[in-house]
Amino acid sequence: MCIGFNKTASKTPRKPGDRIKTDRRDALILARQLRSGDLTAVWVPDSEQEAMRDLTRTRDDFKAQEHKARQQLNAFVLRHGYHWPSGKKRWTQTHYNWLESLKFEHEWLQIVLQEYIHAVKLASARVDTMTTQMMELLPQWSLAPVVDCLVALRGVDKISAMILLAELGD
């Protein structure tokens, strides 16, 4: 873990006539600002934190792809006049069975339907795989105890806690 300060010498305020810029002067200005408390400390994530952030962001990307694939399949089915009953839950095995039982008058539309269904299932499998991998890697993460603490809060599951900590850090 590393703590840094989010101030660069080029961004420090200067007097209107003070155009001389040297490393020595810049260092003195930054030292005075540090002593007076004008610099804000920032947390710089380590490589483990960056890796977990990449892992959670990849899962989020896969989740977005799954959502888009589902929307495309839904729009295709609706465009051709098929409606799933409003009270029933979508994306269950029953829903998939209904989708696969749909018949179109053109063979081409049947191919399109099968490709959309395949795309949704593939996207869902990618999300599930990434979720499983995240859960397997969780015990190795240095912030795993913090994840367990966050899970104690109502409405927070392990994936949400991991995403939160990966983005915000400790």
51 & 131 share domain: yes
Q: Provide the number of structural domains found in the chain.
A: 2
58 & 28 share domain: no
Q: Return the number of other C-beta atoms located less than 10 Å from residue 85's C-beta.
A: 8
36 & 55 share domain: no
State the Cα angle at 54 between 162 and 66, rounded to 5°.
80
Give 49's contacts (C-beta < 8 A, 6+ positions apart). Answer: 143, 166, 169
Chain mean pLDDT for the chain: 88
81 & 104 share domain: yes
Q: Which pLDDT score, from 0 to 100, does residue 75 have?
A: 97
72 & 102 share domain: yes
**Burial annotation 4-34 (CB, 10 A radius, 16+ → b, else e):** eeebeeeeeeeeeeeeeeeeeeeeebbeeee
Whole-prediction pTM value?
0.75
Q: What average pLDDT score do residues 9-19 get? A: 60
Q: Which pLDDT score, from 0 to 100, does residue 86 have?
A: 87
96 & 153 share domain: yes
59 & 81 share domain: yes
Judge whether 42 and 71 are in contact, CB under 8 Å: no
pLDDT at 153 over 50: yes
* Structural domain boundaries, residue 146: 47-168
